[in-house]
Amino acid sequence: MKFNLSSVILNITVIIAFVSFANSATQAEQLNSSNSAKTKVAQINLPTSELINVLKSGGYILYMRHGMTNHEQKDNTQDFTDCTKQRNLSRSGREQLKKIAQTIQTLKIPIGEVLSSPYCRAKETANIVFGKFTIEPKLQFSISKNRQESQSLGEQLKQMMHQASTEKYNAVFVGHTSNLRDGLGVWPKPEGVIAVFQKQQDKLYLRGLIKPNDWPN
């Protein structure tokens, strides 16, 4: 059997070109994914201590992710009143939220309307921290939906934030990670974090994130 060196070299060249193309395609896909996850609102971040202080004057929109949960539990129902089949707050989560609530009261941060996801962990978070809430079905966990539904819920959140009244108080939304990501490109981490937004000239600006341990003791 004859050994065709030219044929071997040609095959190797084709393989190298294919691998190079595949790597380029993967990098492009990763870049597109990264770009799609970028913040969809302008950011003018304030230092955390200053951010907490400006809330005393009202005029901001707070998006709070529910408190720490028991991740051994799973959401197995669309009956939002049945907490036994949902992922709920953990004992540590409840204790952490009580401390945040006490700090907000001590600092006399004015709270206006509070809208909550219908999931039990969100409703309990709203009740512990703010002592009141109105259930808003449009805040239900978007990650459990198909892509079109997730994008729709994200867009509806953005519209509600634009419409929120912040004249004398801080408007509050209590929900989940993916809704804020889908609507405004902001991924709120960890559980219990509050993303602070401000409306100026019909635009939303992200002022920063207040993590649970950022609140003064």
Residue of 206, 214, 159, 215 whose CA lies nearest to 186: 206
pLDDT of the residue at 20: 43
- Using pLDDT thresholds of 50, 70 and 90, give the confidence band for residue 40: confident
pLDDT of the residue at 144: 72
- Using pLDDT thresholds of 50, 70 and 90, give the confidence band for residue 143: confident
Q: What is the mean pLDDT of residues 57-64?
A: 98
Helix ranges (H only) for 136-176 are 147-163
Name the phi and psi angles at 131, rounded to 5: 75, 10
CATH entry, 42-214, from 3.20.20.70, 3.90.1150.10, 3.40.50.300, 3.40.50.1240: 3.40.50.1240
Q: What is the mean pLDDT of residues 132-146?
A: 90
Q: What is the pTM of this model?
A: 0.81
What tens digit of pLDDT does each residue of 151-209 get? 999 999 999 999 999 989 999 999 999 999 999 999 999 999 999 999 998 899 999 99
pLDDT of the residue at 8: 44
Q: Computed over its alpha carbons, how large is the radius of gyration of the chain?
A: 23
Res 59 pLDDT > 80: yes
Residue indicated by tokens 């004015």: 110
The overall average pLDDT reported for the chain is: 86
